[in-house]
Amino acid sequence: MNRSKSSKLFVALATIFILHNVIGETVHAGASPAVGTVQKMSGPASIVRQGQTISASVGQEIFENDILQTGRDGSMGVVFSDETLLSLGPESVLVVDQYVFAPRQGKFSIVLKMLRGTAAYLSGLISKLTPESAHFETPSASIGIRGTHFVVKVEEK
Amino acid sequence: MKQWKIFLVVFALLDLTVGCSAKRDVIVPPPESRNPVIASPTNRDLIVLLPDPDGKVGTIRVTTKGGSQTLDKPGHATQVEHVNEPSTDPKPLGEREITSVFGAALSAQPDLKARFVSFVLLFDRDTTNLTHDSKKMLPEVVRTIRNRKPSEVYVTGHTDRVGAADYNLTLSSRRADTVRDFLVSTGVTSSALVVSFHGESMPLVHTEDEVAEPRNRRVEVIVR
C-alpha cells in the first residue's frame, strides 16, 4: 500500500469513526445500551426519543425513556433484552420508564407506563428472577407481575 | 377548581333529568361522596390475565389508591373505575370480547420460538437434597442447556418460611450451590451460570411465617 492510499484510508476511517460517535451521541446521548428491539409492526407506529419522533421499523433499537406510540390501525411488538414481550394495539402510547437488566450485578428493573390504548405483556427474565422489580402502570393503577401474560386497555378521558 | 364545580353541577343536572337510565358509562358517585377528588372521572382501565404460552397461569395484582385486587385465573378481568376505589372483583371475560378489544395488540406480539425455559427443582425439608421427582428432572435440565449452547443459565435458591430468615438465606444459598455444582460436574461452564439466592423472601406460594410449604423449597433453573 503506497503512502497516499494509506493516508486516504486513514482519513476515511477517521471520518467514519467521528461520524459514528457524533451520530451515536445525538441519537442517544449517554452510553446506556439499547434495552430492546422492534420485532413486529404494521401501520403507523413511532418512537419518541428526547423530543424527536422517529418512525418505527423492524429491527430498530429501543432505549430507556423512549415513548412508543401507534396511530390508527397501527401496532408494534417489542422484545426486551430479558425476553419480556410487549405489544401495542392501535392508538396507543406507552413510556419505557425504567429498564435495567444486569443479572451479573443483580440489578433488575422494568417499569412500563401505559397512557392510552391497548397492550399485551408477556413477562421475561426480570419478573421471573425478581418479581418485585417488574411493574406495569396506568394513570390510575399499578400492576404487580408474578411471571405471567396479560392484556391492558387504558381509555383516555 | 372552578371548572370542576361547573362539571359537577352539569353532572348533578344530568343525574336529575336523565336519572340513572341509559347513562351507564357516566360514573355518578353517591351524593354524599361528591367532592372533586372522588367525582373525578378516571381513565377506565381493563386488565385481563391470560395463560402463558406453556399453559401455566401466573398472578397479577392490580393496585389503585383504593386498594388491590388479585387476578390468578386465566381469562379473568378486572376494571378500574375510580382511582380511589379498588378495581372491580375479578370476572371471566369471553374469548370473543378479549379478541375484539385486544386482537390487534395480541397479533403484534413478537414470536416465541427461542424463549427461555424454566425448571423448578424441589428439596426435602431443611436439606440440600433434591426430592425424588426433582432428581428425575435433572437429565432434562442438562439436555436443555446443551441444546441451547451457548446458553445462559440462571440458578436461584429459595426456602419456605419455617425457621429464621437468616438461616433460610444461607440454606437457599447452599441449595443454589448444590445445583450449580451438579451442573458444572456435567460440563456446563461456570461462566454460563448466574447464581443467586433469596432465602424465604420470594415464595412461589404465599404463606404465613413458619408454615411448611414444599413448593417453596426450591431452586429455579432458567435456561436461555
Decide if pLDDT at A69 tops 60: yes
**pLDDT, position B111:** 85
Contact yes or no for B143/B136 (Cβ under 8 A): no
Q: For A14-37, what is the mean pLDDT?
A: 60
Q: Which residue out of A69, A151, A156 would a mutagenesis test of the B interface target, given it has the greatest number of B Cβ atoms within 10 Å? A: A151
Find the farthest-apart pair of alpha carbons in chain A and give their distance in angstroms, rounded.
Answer: 70
Decide if pLDDT at B15 tops 70: no
Q: For A80-96, what is the mean pLDDT?
A: 97
Separation CA A16–CA A37 (nearest Å): 24
Give the percent of chain B with pLDDT over 70.
80
pLDDT digits (tens, 9 = 90+) for B147-205: 988 889 999 999 999 999 999 999 999 999 999 999 999 999 999 999 999 999 999 88
**pLDDT, position B113:** 73
This prediction has a pTM of: 0.77
For the record, the C-alpha cell of B104 comes out as 390487534
Enumerate the H helices of B64-187 as residue ranges.
95-107, 132-147, 165-185
Decide if pLDDT at A110 tops 50: yes
Q: For B114-141, what is the mean pLDDT?
A: 95
Cβ separation A83–B154 shorter than 8 A: no
Measured between CB atoms, does A134 come within 8 Å of chain B? no
Where is average pLDDT lowest: A75-84, A139-148, B183-192? Answer: A139-148
Decide if pLDDT at B19 tops 90: no
**pLDDT, position A5:** 56
Q: What end-to-end distance do the CA atoms of chain A give, in Å?
A: 68
Chain A residue numbers with beta carbons less than 8 Å from the beta carbon of B48 are 150-152
For the record, the C-alpha cell of B148 comes out as 441451547
pLDDT digits (tens, 9 = 90+) for B40-70: 444 589 999 999 888 889 899 999 999 999 9
Which residues touch B184 (CB under 8 Å, ≥6 apart)?
B190, B193
Most confidently modeled of A126-130, A146-150, B135-139? Answer: B135-139
Contact yes or no for A59/A47 (Cβ under 8 A): no
Which residues touch B220 (CB under 8 Å, ≥6 apart)?
A128, B118, B119, B120, B121, B154, B155, B156, B158
Measured between CB atoms, does B42 come within 8 Å of chain A? yes
Give me the residue label for grid cell 432465602: B199
For the record, the C-alpha cell of B62 comes out as 392490580
**pLDDT, position B114:** 75
What ipTM was predicted for this assembly? 0.80
Cβ separation B53–A125 shorter than 8 A: no
List, as one string, the DSSP characters of A76-104: EEEEETT--EEEE-SS-EEEEEEEEEEGG
Q: What is the side-by-side order of every strand in the sheet holding B193-197? A: B117-122, B218-223, B153-157, B193-197
Cβ separation A143–B44 shorter than 8 A: no
Where is average pLDDT lowest: A25-34, A58-67, B163-172, B207-216? Answer: A25-34
